[in-house]
Chain A
Amino acid sequence: MTGFRVSPICDAMRLAQRATSEKMAKPSSEESLIATEREINQMRFAQGNSSGHSTTLGITDLSFLTRFGVKGAAAAAWLHAQNLPIPDAPNRWLPLRGGGLIARLGFNEFLIEDSINSSIAPQLIELSQHPPAKVYPVLRQDAAIALGGSLILDLLAQTCSLHFRALNLSECPVVLTTMVGVNVTIIPGEIYRIWCDGTYGVYLWQTLLNIIEEMQGGAVEFEQLLPL
């Protein structure tokens, strides 16, 4: 017997789906609410179907990507021993070979996330079953979101108090801040990656999607935002 896994945002898409289907006349702007359920990495998640919004403002669920967290005074050395690049300062990130990223969330805390094609995190989870001293694995069950489109900075101005324009993207910054009242980790770039506690996932998603729709954007399939 094996259980299934579900994205923390899946409920939000279902709720949106239900709200849309309850409306007799479906306004065209809400077409984006229609969701498709998919499964990747044994995780069920829902994706928006609106294809045209990724250039204006699109949002997608990336919770299905496998990820691994670790903290502790020896975490950096342990990760280095696993042949991973280590960002040289807190609040920086680096890309991983084969896709994915490693983000340094503090002096001694790291987040490793795979791309759609890589599987480093499951290996690290396995390796950390019996961790060495001062290495503490962290179970990551984040709601992971990607945002993209030409109006992304306008959306951020309405939801987050950080001055994103002032960030130097060449330094690969990682931002720990709050967005619509929720603690989030953000990696800015052409595509903005956002992680938050999964129990806030539905709220964060719904709140962002409401604003995004006001700005003529919508929920999109992850392939439209995430280069494969």
Chain B
Amino acid sequence: MNEMRLLPIPGEWIDRRQLIDFTFEGRRVTGYAGDTISSALWASGYRILGRSFKYHRPRGILSFANHDTNTLMQNGQMLNVRADVLSIRSDMALTAINSMGDVRSDRAHVLDFFSAFLPVGFYYKAFHTKKLFPFWEKVIRRMTGLGTVDPSTPHIRTAKRYDFCDVLVIGAGISGLSAALSAAQAGVDVVIVDENLHPGGSGQYQLGGEMAQAQHTANLVKSVQQHPRIRLYTETEAAGYYDDHWVPLVGRNYLSKMRAESVIVATGVYEQPAVFRNNDLPGVMLASAAQRLIYRYGVKPMNRAVVLTANSDGYRAAVDLIAQGITVVAVVDLRESYVEDQWTKKLCDRGVKIFPNHCIYEASSNPANDGVSAAIVCSLNSGNPETGFAQLISCDGILMSVGWAAAANLLYQAKTKMRFDDHVQQFVPHILPPGIFACGRVNGIFHIEQKRCDGQRAGLEAAAYLGKSDLTKIAVLPEAESPSHPFPIVAHPKGKNFVDFDEDLQLKDFYNAAQEGFDNIELLKRYTTVGMGASQGKHSNMNALRILARITNKTPEQVGTTTARPFFHPVPMSHLAGRGFTPERRTPLHSRHEALGAEFMLAGAWRRPEYYRQRGKNREDCIRLEVEAVRNGVGIIDVGTLGKLEIRGADAAEFLERVYTGRYTSMKIGTTRYALMLDETGVIVDDGVIARLSAEHFYFTTTTSGAATVYWELSRLNTMWRLDCGIVNLTGARSSINLVGSHARTVLAKLTDFELSEAAFPYLAVREMRIAGMPAIAMRVGFVGEWGYEIHVAADSALALWDALMNAGADYNIRPFGVEAQRVLRLEKGHLIVGQDTDGLTTPMEANLGWAVKLDKPFFVGQRSLQIIAKRTPKHTLVGFVLEKNFKGTPPQECHLIIDNNEIAGRVTSIAFSPTLQCYIGLAYIKPGLSEVGNSFSIRTTDGTSVMATVSKTPFYDPDNARQKKIATVRREVVV
């Protein structure tokens, strides 16, 4: 165990007192608490941590910076675990995700030998022939993939949070920490986030053997941690940027929506690989990866290293290796010359050979094919390798330090105008949007002291932007040398010089793509899939851009970059889903419905009883029995979901007159009237009943689904018209219950002293009375066609009213009924439901509601449109229909089409079996020519068969409405 572990290093992230065992590919591995999966495996001598996506080549550590997508692993049900950053736990049982069998001997590695048959654009070419699509889909799905999904994986609930700050600093490296500190010292509230477990960034691992620098960084971190105006969030990624400085922060267990007043981007840079043959062998890694392995986890990256560089960072990395007792056999510098400084001197003193103007032409694999055995080094002539003078340098690892790419994704998303800086060979911010600032290496500033200055500058600028300080100019010196090489890419006739490690793209793939005409950066991306892998081009986009620039003889700026969209770093689905708040409304009677065995259904946000279960009865029987109870005895239904509004004031009647189609100024106190509401195009939008409680006081209902929108619309109109009235929404504050059936009056009479005779409380009247001691509003209205009362009480009294009615009705076998029974009952009466029997184009004329529209009124909403519509013949009209009495097949359903002469002639809006009439009845829109009573028509069902129906008069049941009013006087209700 831990054969590659170094002696303890100050500031390391592991706890050597605590050993943790886990398994990888079925083998037991031991690491220290704080180790990542990759560091623990590397320390234990593992070199093959995963397989490449396309050719199944062995892969090890590359960046060790949350982008090593070739080392994604599966841990039980958890997919795509990022081994380079996730800490080990004792319950981990890890496997590589893209391997057939053991990752060390992946059976699919044979694909590497057939790579010539899998050229660039392979997918497009494979799928070009439609016939072969299923074959290739199957093969590709089997050979590639990112783990195995277990459908039984439980839903992981993560919190979504809202957060706020004055200044959000993204990146807690030296420049970010300095920016946070200077902004906070100016008096603003700062949040600083970093994706790593600990802050400090490169200030704690790119040391060049100087531990004092790590101490300086630690001191800076301490100052930030202790500052009362700064909140430091570690293990938190700023995953995107949205307008108005909204930034999603992704923590381990939550997603936070951060709203900042200003944002400082100190996201640093991604180190870029050099491109040479076999640059993907385990043991070939970025220099910064090796430095992180050493200083964070105390792990030796290799024993004998060759360092390929093109900047001073590579020399410092070589010194870091030597400081830990690792042999550096050579430094290969792509540049023609290098600047002699303290690090080159140290290396020379140690006898390290430096090869300026040389390249690594190829890395040789060891016999086990799980690592490097040598680097083949060539001198360069005008940038081209002189292969005739190749030298083989034995080593077991190669560090690459040839350049960087700005981690500018958030800046792009914030619509920053970027420019390519030839001196630092990097895209840097050119014009920043208001409130956005950049500092540090993403801003092209690499020297450690200058990063500190640049951070201070950005912090003060952000504070000044917020009006918290005067703008103080801080000078930041430009870089002395370029940290990035303009073309760290070496061609090789045998290929396998990888540009994109996610997608196994080689240098030749880009030349071939360009040759095929894909010579624009966006087209190139889509054709080659460069940058479309799990790391989203963090290691490949810059080199791809340089290659395309060379092919097309353009500058990198002319080639441009691809669009950076949020999220630029993968976000777990559990974080995106969050808790999932779905507001749900319950009437005050919900517990009673549950106790009575209600089967609930959703009606908008409401949960309503669809029907009440009965032992030994199926759904249809339960609904039928509920219908029969209402028709033959007494039933009770909770209609508390209806919209309930109140309007008071001198102009209340006038207001209603303008909003609804009927007449309300002439209504007598103590009466109710049907109310139909239209929009300005004359389309039906809602209906209900209006009750006049006093001269200036009306109480009225709306449909369940329309309550909120009707209230908002009425409030809007009231504001606009400035009438002397006030509207109150009582939908939640009042509860309502319908008591219906031939025994309804007898039951109610047991609970009130109020006179309930036909003369004292006639049909369509409203009365305020006390029922079971509670103040109530009772209306004699009947949606279901029986003698009934709609009783409204304060919501907190609903349970008491329900219990009282149930007790009083016990002797009459009172039965609660649900929404389904109510739908059947109203259909028997031919009553329409707005929203079901009307749609977004239905006018009152089409719905046969012309009787409810008083076109001769001075004004109502929709009147002008209706006056025009009324002159035209309706395209279709609502009719009742019945199926044959002995119909036995599958009945049509709502929305089934009526077909006449092979053309659509209408559609069904409601249909149900009537227990009362013992046949199927329904409502349908049909062409006027087919709407004569007695006319037959054909309904096409889902399975293509036709069912014959006959137009029928409505109401189907009790056509004289005798049962609901006994002594019929004036008919005022919704009848088709």
> Chain A interface (Cβ within 8 Å of chain B)?
1-8, 11, 14, 43, 71-72, 131, 133-134, 136, 138-141, 157-158, 160-163, 165-166, 180-182, 197-200, 202-203, 207, 211
- Which residues of chain B (569-592) have a CB below 8 Å from chain A? 579, 581-588, 590-591
Question: Which of these, B257, B724, B728, contacts A161 with CB under 8 Å?
Answer: B257
What are 18 A-B contacts with C-beta separation under 8 Å? A2-B772, A3-B801, A5-B796, A5-B797, A8-B795, A11-B591, A14-B591, A136-B728, A138-B728, A138-B733, A139-B734, A158-B160, A163-B164, A197-B732, A198-B732, A199-B586, A199-B732, A207-B581
- Kindly provide the distance from the CB of B810 to the nearest chain A CB, expressed in whole angstroms: 16
Per CB-CB distance, the 4 closest pairs between chain A and chain B, nearest first, are: A3-B800, A197-B732, A136-B726, A2-B773
Q: Given A11-B586, A134-B649, A140-B733, A4 and B800 touching (CB < 8 A)? A: yes
Taking a contact as CB atoms under 8 Å apart, the answer to whether B160 and A3 are in contact is: no
**How distant is the Cα of A138 from the Cα of B801 in the complex, in angstroms?**
21
Interchain pairs with CB closer than 8 A, number: 121
- Which residues of chain B (707-746) have a CB below 8 Å from chain A? 724, 726, 728, 730-734
Taking a contact as CB atoms under 8 Å apart, the answer to whether A199 and B799 are in contact is: no
**How distant is the Cα of A94 from the Cα of B164 in the complex, in angstroms?**
28
Taking a contact as CB atoms under 8 Å apart, the answer to whether A199 and B585 are in contact is: yes
Let me know if B774 is at the binding interface, CB within 8 A: yes
| B residues in contact with A136, CB < 8 Å | 646, 648-649, 726, 728
| A residues in contact with B649, CB < 8 Å | 72, 133-134, 136
Question: Which of these, B161, B606, B728, B733, contacts A158 with CB under 8 Å?
Answer: B161
> Chain B interface (Cβ within 8 Å of chain A)?
159-164, 256-257, 259, 579, 581-588, 590-591, 606, 640, 646, 648-650, 724, 726, 728, 730-734, 751, 772-774, 794-801, 804
Taking a contact as CB atoms under 8 Å apart, the answer to whether B259 and A181 are in contact is: no
- Kindly provide the distance from the CB of A198 to the nearest chain B CB, expressed in whole angstroms: 5
Taking a contact as CB atoms under 8 Å apart, the answer to whether B159 and A211 are in contact is: yes
Taking a contact as CB atoms under 8 Å apart, the answer to whether B586 and A203 are in contact is: yes
- Kindly provide the distance from the CB of A1 to the nearest chain B CB, expressed in whole angstroms: 4
Taking a contact as CB atoms under 8 Å apart, the answer to whether A203 and B585 are in contact is: yes
**How distant is the Cα of A133 from the Cα of B581 in the complex, in angstroms?**
42
| B residues in contact with A3, CB < 8 Å | 772-774, 797, 800-801, 804
**How distant is the Cα of A161 from the Cα of B164 in the complex, in angstroms?**
10
Residue of B nearest to A143 (CB): B732
Taking a contact as CB atoms under 8 Å apart, the answer to whether A43 and B257 are in contact is: no
- Kindly provide the distance from the CB of B159 to the nearest chain A CB, expressed in whole angstroms: 5
Taking a contact as CB atoms under 8 Å apart, the answer to whether B159 and A198 are in contact is: no
Taking a contact as CB atoms under 8 Å apart, the answer to whether A43 and B773 are in contact is: no
**How distant is the Cα of A138 from the Cα of B645 in the complex, in angstroms?**
11
| A residues in contact with B804, CB < 8 Å | 1, 3
| B residues in contact with A163, CB < 8 Å | 162, 164, 259
| A residues in contact with B650, CB < 8 Å | 133
| B residues in contact with A138, CB < 8 Å | 728, 733
Taking a contact as CB atoms under 8 Å apart, the answer to whether B588 and A8 are in contact is: yes
Taking a contact as CB atoms under 8 Å apart, the answer to whether B772 and A158 are in contact is: no
Taking a contact as CB atoms under 8 Å apart, the answer to whether A166 and B583 are in contact is: no
| A residues in contact with B774, CB < 8 Å | 2-3
Taking a contact as CB atoms under 8 Å apart, the answer to whether A8 and B796 are in contact is: yes
| B residues in contact with A72, CB < 8 Å | 649, 726
| B residues in contact with A2, CB < 8 Å | 772-774
Residue of A nearest to B587 (CB): A199
| A residues in contact with B590, CB < 8 Å | 11, 202
Taking a contact as CB atoms under 8 Å apart, the answer to whether A180 and B583 are in contact is: yes
**How distant is the Cα of A5 from the Cα of B775 in the complex, in angstroms?**
12
| A residues in contact with B751, CB < 8 Å | 1
**How distant is the Cα of A136 from the Cα of B588 in the complex, in angstroms?**
25
**How distant is the Cα of A139 from the Cα of B774 in the complex, in angstroms?**
15
Question: Which of these, A131, A139, A160, A202, contacts B794 with CB under 8 Å?
Answer: A139
Taking a contact as CB atoms under 8 Å apart, the answer to whether A200 and B732 are in contact is: yes
**How distant is the Cα of A139 from the Cα of B794 in the complex, in angstroms?**
8
- Kindly provide the distance from the CB of B505 to the nearest chain A CB, expressed in whole angstroms: 42
Question: Which of these, A1, A162, A198, A202, contacts B795 with CB under 8 Å?
Answer: A198
| B residues in contact with A160, CB < 8 Å | 162
- Kindly provide the distance from the CB of B609 to the nearest chain A CB, expressed in whole angstroms: 15
